[in-house]
Amino acid sequence: METTRADRFKTAILLIAATGLTVGLAFHFTGRPDIANLIWIAGVVPALAALLVEIFGSIGRGEIGLDVVAALSMSAALVFGETLAAAVVAVMYSGGTLLEAFAEGRARREMHDLLSRVPRTATRHRNGGLEEVPLDQIAPGDRLLIRQGDVVPVDGTVASEAAFVDTSALTGESLPVRLAHGADAMSGSTNAGEAFDLTATREAKDSTYAGIVRLVKAAQASKAPMSRLADRWSLGFLAVTVIIAFAAWWFTGDPIRAVAVLVVATPCPLILAVPVALVAGLSRAAHFGVLIKGAGPLETMARIRTLILDKTGTLTDGRPQIVSIDSHDGMVEDDILRLAAALDQASKHPVALAIVATAKERGFALPVPSDVAEIPGEGVVGHVEGRKVIVGGDAFVVSRVGRRPGDQSVIAAGSVLVAVAVDGHMAGHLVMSDPLREGAGGMLDGLRREGIARILLATGDRADVAERVTEGLGLDGLRAGLTPDQKVLLVLSERKRGPVMMVGDGVNDAPALAAADVGVAMGARGAAASAEAADVVLLVDRIDRLGPGIEIARGARRIAVESVVAGIGLSVMGMIAAAFGYLTPVQGALLQEVIDVAVILNALRALRIAPHEPTTPKPKAVSSGQDDIAQGATP
């Protein structure tokens, strides 16, 4: 509402100034310059008064900028009888401020789209019926109905057989995503298919979308270091402007030349280009699923020279997957997987969940197990279709069924070996490991092309496991066996070489993310603590989105610098020309407005930055190690 009132006020001031200029010109060309001068003054006074109020308000906040030049130019033009020039400046300045407001509004559009999508209520199943409830009344475990076209109100898991959701507003993914039963659904996504049920896993205030809204509001209120630097530059430019104007008057005795100099300097691209370009960069990055918490982190992100990556859940997928099935006694591999998955339905262990997910992906119908007993950290025992099944660590299963010493399967460092026994005999082994994320290799190559000089891996895993992960990636360094405080020390030591970016997803990464110049959290599945500590959150669970984010940050900063340099350069040339008498005050006002419009339009180019889409090589299986949890198995 306040923004609307401000825009209406600026529009009214522009209309008054434009009407005064137009009507005054009509009287001027009909031979009534006296009336024209009065009308021009009447059109200038409201604009000048509004500008003075804004200047005094800024001074009260401890800020001072180039609006002072605009006030000086209008005042000087009125004092020395250049009323037409004053009227032109009033129109151009009020038009420029309105154009600036429009430009920033255009740049923030995608962020406002995020805010406007916040749902207010949700439909909850209760006592065999449905009820509409406010979001703050939803608790974890509630079963919600998500109708077609509804925005998912809270984080949860799909309780129906499947769901199709549109995540384009959050992640930039253009096509709807199919979520199977039990899959995580991100709040803020839209139901693009038939109605489905959702089991809430978080309260609304703790859900992904609520966090995004908080970050967006913080980003809108932020001010980049580059923008603050522009404020300091503006004081220097103000001094240069006054000196040139005074010198032109002093050496020529013509005050009109001083007026022309002041008019050419009104306003300055410094106060327009930087905020518009950086806010446009924030908006563009959000479109690609990279939420940057403000203009400051975006500007710092553009200067990153060193990248430090966590391993599990960041460089790797963080979820164990089956890479091979070893069969014993001639049992069919599919039967081994189906029986193991059927029994593991009774367990919430990460490895058990991965086995069940793999079986469902392969289309197996899983019977319900019975007589299930789970031994924490060891394995699960039960009956499936009348057959006794044991699933767990190799040592646990061997202790139950026995096996010849030569039966041990050979696995790579860091892999997890899950043994499966059926009816008292060893049926086989499931070999599991943590796959490298899709696009990780291409992403690292792209970052090097963007100027990242050093890329390091920092992990709490064993050295042999870390070496297997980094094989062929061409990293500049590997630090294994690190505790959270040691990761912080690594970040601090690397900062001596230049700005450092740290990427992680777990609670143990939060201190290092906070210590880095730019901390990046994997927000889709990462811990809330890491998302809070980070400056950048990847909304989609894809590490390759980091490349487009950095490319957009560099592009937005480059456009801001180009706009400032070009705008200031043209303004200085115009002031010098005015000082030597080559520009009248009216011509100077028109020239400066052309410069300002060009600067704003150039800054808006940040909205059209098209980052290179990284290649996504086929993922390969890599080890998991101590960062992962084995179901009773030791690597």
Q: Which residues are marked as active site?
A: 310
CB 255 within 8 A of CB 80: yes
**Lookup result for tokens 């450092």:** 500
- The DSSP bridge partners found for residue 191 are 165
Please, which residues have CB within 8 angstroms of residue 60's CB and are 6 or more apart in sequence?
A: none
Any residues with CB less than 8 A from the CB of 458 and at least 6 apart, and which? 308, 309, 310, 311, 479, 482, 487, 490, 502, 512
DSSP, collapsed to helix, strand or coil, labels residue 213 as helix
Q: With beta carbons less than 8 A apart as the criterion, state whether 462 and 625 touch.
A: yes
3-state secondary structure 223-274: CCHHHHHHHHHHHHHHHHHHHHHHHHHHHHCCHHHHHHHHHHCCCCCHHHHH
In whole angstroms, what separates CA 603 from the centre of its chain?
20
Gap between the Cα atoms of 534 and 90, Å rounded? 44
Identify the three-state secondary structure at position 4. helix
Nearest by Cα to 94 from 7, 223, 196, 195: 7
Q: What share of the chain is helix, strand, coil (3-state, %, to 5)?
A: 55, 20, 30
With beta carbons less than 8 A apart as the criterion, state whether 467 and 459 touch.
Answer: no
The answer to whether the beta carbons of residues 305 and 499 sit under 8 Å apart is yes
Helix (H) or strand (E) holding 401: helix 394-401
Neighbour-count burial of 495, counting CB atoms closer than 10 A to its CB (0-12 exposed, 13-18 middle, 19+ buried): middle
- Structure tokens, 388: 């006794």
Q: Residue-wise over 378-410: b if at least 16 C-beta within 10 A, else e? A: bbbbbebeeebbbbbbbebbbebbebeeeeeee
